[in-house]
Chain A
Amino acid sequence: MKRVVITGLGVVSPLGCQLEAFWDQLTSGTTSVRPLTKLDRAEYRGNPLAAEVQGLEDVDLADGEDLAPYGQAVHYAVAAARLSLEDAGLPTYLPSPNNHAVIIGTTSGNQDMVERTINHFDLQTTEDELSDEAAQMLAHFRPLELSATVASYYNLGGANLVIPTACAAGNYAIGTAYSLIQQGRTQLALAGGADPFTRSCYTIFYRLGAMTQQDIRPFDENRTGMVVGEGAAMLVVEELEHALARGARIYAEVTSYGLSCDAYHSTAPDPEGSGAILAMEAALRTGQLTADDISYISAHGTGTKANDAHEAKAMAKVFGERLQEIPVSGLKSLLGHCMGAASAFEAVASVLSIRDQRVPGTRNTEKLDSSFAIPFPLRAASETTPVRHVLSNAFAFGGNICSVIFSQYIPR
């Protein structure tokens, strides 16, 4: 069985685009949640907040194609991919021939191209004419542009997929890259997630009443909701022998992943946590691990009543009393909920927690919800602790669920 490792990381995030600064801020508990600026605040009642990308202008894309006609997520993905390639010590233009893959998860894809078309041509009704110029702008809606543009930009000739499994999509991408490498389809893949900030996405969570007007408090007894974010994170996922042969630095190993579906509701999780339990158990089983082996859980932890309750229930079922000993963190308290990029950011943090043997804290959570069957350690500050295996959970609308296990790389 081929082993699969992580050798490069790149982020375009609400905490900036420099990997070490991103990690420093996560471990120091710096939040990226600020007042909304990308939409008219007056349109949204209360105190509209957002986690918007910072520092993209600092990412030098050299002499590549002009990305202005493309959706914002394409720009984010291209930038994050470049940073991950550089971090992996790879050229930013891969020599031909190659069959390197690109796999990107997303929620909104290029929905901002719909909004750009509506705004630019001042469309008012569904009957308004879509001119040829409008049609050419709208053509950039196609989600495949995310991965195809990254592939063309860096000359990657292998499989390329866009997986729109919403808020779990980043983990889906990493899992799919793992499968492709294990089955010998490719030796190297860029995998992660990318999402733009869109009026539609913001409005959806606003109308669902899922957004907080205060702080994001994952698993807190008084949690009040999530905050919409954006960005992209890409990981260089590589077959071990390929990485060793080129002398790559190995951050961590991808040990396994589990997929499931709640099959419960289009926007609400199963209160019993059935899908989450299936995914976590599948990841443990295929990784030939037990609950005792997990040293840290990077929770989905949105800060909404429904998500956190069902995730706590599922973790209690999978880990039993052992859950009381496992550090758990909810990074969305710091990053906001960056949709399809969310679990990719959490994957980056999981990998860095293995590198530094240090787990980030959870901001704002003051009192763990007392209704949870089994309490778990959720600390405000980061802590140094042995980190051998990390379980990272990601859940999405439609009940799409993916849990990934990252492990410390140990040569055999």
Chain B
Amino acid sequence: MATPLDITISSVGYTSAAGTGLEAFWQQVQSNGFTTSIRHYDPQGYMGAKGIRYLNRATLLYGNVAYQCIADHPTLGEFIRQHPSQVGLYDGSDLSNIEDGFVFDLVAKVEGPDKASPMSAPNTIDNASSSQMAIKAQIKGPNVTVCGGACAGLQALDVSLLHLTQGMTSYGIVGTTEVTSRYHEAVRRGEQRNTTLPAAPEMGIAVGVERSQNAMPAPYGRILSVASGQRLTGETNETLLARLVETCQGPVAEVAADYCIVGGGGHNLDPRQLRAALQAAGVQAQVLFPETVYGVGDNAGGLAGLLFGLGLQQGRGSGLPAAYLDGVYNDQLPGAPQSGCHLLATIDTLGYGIVLLFSKN
């Protein structure tokens, strides 16, 4: 059973090829698709100049969106200065170190271990991004990276919620980054058994979370419940998600979700079967697959879906392009939400899923 939560999303950071901030996200949504490659991973230079050549792109991007999260909050920067151990940093990762690991090992093998640079060592480990951000921002609370594939962003969010709920932290900054390289492309190609799936659009997303009782006015939304799980024998991806949705809605049974947004791993689902599984579980929410229009993400897909859902709650659905209405994936253009409560579902190729129930304030 999931635990009922009362967590506020109080700040947001976003960086992509279209620029930084939520408006850049919506500009891309409106344009029917995200540009794949970013030119500047830390355009504001938050991570500074010293030692920057040793930071990989994922670290620059993570630092950029995490700093946006701090700047977007009226008191968080000062809180970090006064209580550095009460703030947690969380990174939902998957392949952020694959390019560095490949190059490091290639040098060790071809040129010999004495030629491999020790300065490259930190980037070969997946925890580099949140660790570097901690050093830069002097954040001394929990520093957790999780590798969850398409579910990584929401998994990192889940761990931050555990810590907030247990009183281990007062704030969590949860980020995830999508960068591409020929090695990322190869993993995606290999995993899809060489079927064609376009490269994930590069982006970084971060959200700041805190307990609702402590939150400042005008936050972005509230998280009510979360559930995650692995496909059991006999389950399909669709029935797994339906099980998780039931678990997620259980503690807040009075809430009826308007939409179930599939953000991350939507290509692993059959839309009709998902709708049928949800209906069999008594869930009447309309299913939306925005990724089919703006691009299939890997580990950033979940938090991209969250931004999309928060936007719907703020009335941004009315201006969406027709592509969100057409095609096999979508039921209908999102209209005015009724309860203002949405489900967000993500499923990884390895049969792991996570579901989040969230609402406007």
A-to-B contact residues, CB < 8 Å: 43-45, 96-99, 102, 107-109, 111, 114-115, 118-119, 123-126, 130, 132, 134-139, 141-145, 148, 151-152, 155-166, 172, 176, 179-180, 182-185, 198-200, 202-204, 206-208, 259-267, 274-275, 278, 282, 286, 396-400
Contacts and interface: CB of A to CB of B under 8 A. Distances in A.
Contact of A259 (B121, B139, B142): B142
B22 to A, nearest CB: 28
Contacts of B166: 179, 182-183, 286
B191 A139 contact: yes
B112 interface: yes
B103 interface: yes
B311 interface: no
Contacts of B165: 183
A261 B89 contact: yes
B249 interface: no
A206 B113 contact: yes
Nearest to A99: B229
Contacts of A259: 88, 141-144, 163, 168
Contacts of B126: 109, 143, 164
Contacts of A143: 94, 126, 147
A43 B113 contact: yes
A165 B143 contact: yes
Nearest to B130: A398
Contact of A274 (B117, B140, B235): B140
Contact of A166 (B88, B127, B247): B127
20 contacts: A108-B124, A125-B110, A137-B190, A139-B189, A139-B191, A142-B94, A143-B94, A144-B147, A148-B348, A148-B352, A160-B228, A165-B145, A185-B3, A202-B113, A260-B142, A262-B134, A264-B135, A266-B132, A398-B130, A399-B143
Given A144-B352, A159-B229, A261-B134, A397 B162 contact: no
10 A-B pairs with least C-beta separation? A398-B131, A139-B190, A135-B190, A164-B126, A143-B147, A259-B142, A261-B143, A266-B122, A151-B230, A148-B350
A261 B190 contact: no
Interface stretch (B65-73, B180-188, B212-220, B329-337): B180-188
Contacts of B140: 260-263, 274-275, 278
Contacts of B168: 259, 282, 286
Nearest to A96: B232
Contacts of B118: 204, 207-208, 267
Contacts of B147: 109, 142-144, 161-164
Interface string B100-135: 011111101110111011100110111110111011
Contact of A176 (B94, B104, B127, B159): B159
A267 B121 contact: yes
Given A144-B350, A183-B166, A267-B121, A138 B128 contact: no
B197 interface: no
Contact of B141 (A148, A155, A260): A260
Nearest to A282: B168
Interface of B: 1-3, 84-85, 88-89, 93-95, 98, 101-106, 108-110, 112-114, 116-118, 121-122, 124-128, 130-132, 134-135, 137-149, 155, 158-159, 162-163, 165-166, 168, 182-183, 186-191, 193-194, 227-235, 243, 247, 348, 350-352
B84 A263 contact: yes
Contacts of B93: 164
Given A144-B352, A263-B140, A265-B135, A200 B146 contact: no
Given A97-B232, A135-B190, A261-B89, A203 B131 contact: no
Contacts of A267: 118, 121-122
A172 B142 CA distance: 10
A354 B165 CA distance: 30
A146 to B, nearest CB: 8
A265 B139 CA distance: 12
Nearest to B151: A144
A149 B117 CA distance: 33
Nearest to B98: A141
A397 B146 contact: no
Nearest to B132: A266
A208 B85 CA distance: 29
Given A136-B193, A166-B125, A161 B159 contact: yes
Which of A176, A202, A203 is the most central at the interface, judged by chain B CB atoms within 10 Å of its CB? A203
Nearest to B2: A185
Given A142-B95, A163-B145, 11 more contacts: A109-B147, A137-B190, A138-B186, A139-B189, A143-B126, A151-B352, A157-B243, A184-B2, A259-B168, A261-B140, A398-B131
